Amino acid sequence: MQDNKGFHGLVAIDKALHWRSFPDEPLGKDQVKVRVVAAGLNRADLSQRAGTYNPPPGVTPVLGLECAGVIEAVGENVSQWLPGQQVCALLPGGGLATDVVCDQRLLLPVPESLSLLEAAGIVEVYATAWLNLFHRGGVKPGDKVLLMAGASGVGTAAIQLCAHFGLEATVVVGSDEKLQFCRDLGALNGINRHEQDWEALKAFGPFDMVLDCCAGDWLEKYLRLMNTGGRIVTIGLMAGRKGQLDMGLLLMKRIQVMGSTLRFLPITEKESLLSELKEKVWPLFAQGKLKTVVDTVLPMEEYQKAYDLMASNKTTGKVIMSLPV
């Protein structure tokens, strides 16, 4: 898939995917070049293909927000990383490629006990879950948390973090099989949204925090499920960009509604977030207290199949795309 000059990466042009060649990127003083072995696919990649979630200014048009691989070269100011080290990267773009050049602050070592294939699918989802549960959502032990799309990559990461840190997780999923999977992973309660009405969630609340990837008409429903002082953190808009709010209920319950994106965070905040993951989350993989949830691994040349699979909403956990070692 790659010749001897430059690199190849996946881009979206007029909503269609293309595997294109690019000239090698110059290596800055504070940057690291990584040969990509595997990359995780995220719903944000689907949104970028659709033209509704463009990369930040100055960021490569190549798709992909996370990858894992082997360091090929380091800039002259880089001292904490060495060629040959296995790393995973949290990226503003560029992960679905044969090579990526990124700031050294966006890297983490591959957790002990994980392969590069497994590590390719953990950085984006665990960073998202950690940021929005503990920072935006301000959760504390004993809180009741509602997780939308509980069987997604972010959802499965959030379930495990909730279980480990003493939070009661309730999930909304699309099938009985996914519901049982989430329960086995650590969720205490949940509903199959195709079989049960949302009001069934009232039996498991009131909730202190909602990790929301839907918004749309769900926003009004959350208000009726929340505890006083609850927090609704929206990270996606699968149910639509617009929703109604009963402002009286919002005021009476003192509910906070906030939006959150990881991709557009300043790099200093990403550096701090990754430092927390390295200290508080990464050791849990080696201890067997957290696990990767991979639905499917596909070779990079089957990128269209991978996108179609994620768009089907039939996956549980991550879709990983691999490159020849």
What per-residue confidence (pLDDT) applies to 2? 43
pLDDT of residue 303: 98
CA-based nearest residue to 90, from 122, 60, 47? 122
Question: Which residue stretches of the chain have pLDDT < 50?
Answer: 1-3
For residue 262, give the nearest of 128, 161, 157, 155 by alpha carbon. Answer: 128
- Domains detected in the chain: 7-122+265-322 (3.90.180.10), 125-259 (3.40.50.720)
Mapped onto helix, strand or coil, the DSSP state of residue 49 is helix
Closest by CA to 65, choosing from 10, 16, 23, is: 10
Rounded to whole angstroms, how far apart are CA atoms 185 and 173?
A: 14
Contact 257, 245 (CB under 8 A): yes
Task: Give the model confidence (pLDDT) of 179-215 as tens digits.
Answer: 999 999 999 999 999 999 999 999 999 999 999 999 8
What are the tokens at 131?
């940021």
45, containing H or E segment: helix 43-50
Report residue 40 as tokens.
Answer: 């995780």
User: Quick check: helix, strand or coil at residue 232?
Assistant: strand
Q: How many residues does the chain have?
A: 325
The stretches of 96-171 forming alpha helices (DSSP H) are 116-119, 123-130, 153-164
